[in-house]
Copies of this chain bind each other. A is one copy, B any other.
């Protein structure tokens, strides 16, 4: 028998022409994805090769985004100062950023610190949540291994607790029998605190989450010359 292949769920990635995407929505979507991709590439480059990178991007809607490793400020200063190997001082293009960065450095750092702490707190929370869920789910009883590790005193007190519990269980059964189960009462379902059975495992780091760039247009740009300096030369 043939394996009945599921109907194609997508046509897969299609090749696209290297020209401005006319559809506005598609263009915005593409921009978001590719900006993320670009920043990721930059991150990788800096990590893998120890390169220092600064990027500034204006979205089609005119919203500014930037990336910097170690920081835009640093890159700016370095660029201004003429950098190490290059020797020659590249003039003022980024000096404004430099000035700005100088004064904002402190706040930025503080901000970065806060973000980090937030991350950590959240991670911790997820872990704890999972732990709670695990204990609850496992009926809360210590497993055999744990019992096997106990010392005499621990065993003793543990035994007492067990006795107590047994009494409780017995009582409860009696109670239930008396009630004669003509009512499906109580026990709505899972206690609310439990939430998700498995615990949150969140895979994605929402690092790139961002407020939607909404903004006016500004009419210029498409046909201005593009190029890049490569070593000592300019390419276009």
B40 touches A207 (CB 8 A): yes
Could you tell me the distance between the alpha carbons of A233 and B200 in the complex, rounded to whole angstroms?
A: 26
Across the A-B interface, the 3 shortest Cβ-Cβ residue pairs: A70-B224, A67-B228, A62-B84
- Known contacts A58-B75, A155-B173, A203-B202; A134/B197 CB under 8 A: yes
Interface size on A, residues (CB 8 A): 167
A83 touches B67 (CB 8 A): no
B83 touches A63 (CB 8 A): yes
In the complex, 29 of the A-B residue pairs with CB atoms within 8 angstroms, ordered by the A residue number, are A18-B44, A20-B47, A27-B50, A37-B41, A42-B55, A45-B57, A50-B60, A52-B58, A53-B56, A56-B75, A56-B79, A64-B90, A71-B225, A71-B227, A74-B220, A76-B97, A83-B215, A96-B96, A96-B99, A111-B234, A112-B227, A114-B114, A123-B204, A131-B132, A131-B196, A131-B197, A147-B168, A151-B187, A198-B199
Could you tell me the distance between the alpha carbons of A209 and B151 in the complex, rounded to whole angstroms?
A: 45
Q: Name the CB-closest residue of B to A230.
A: B210
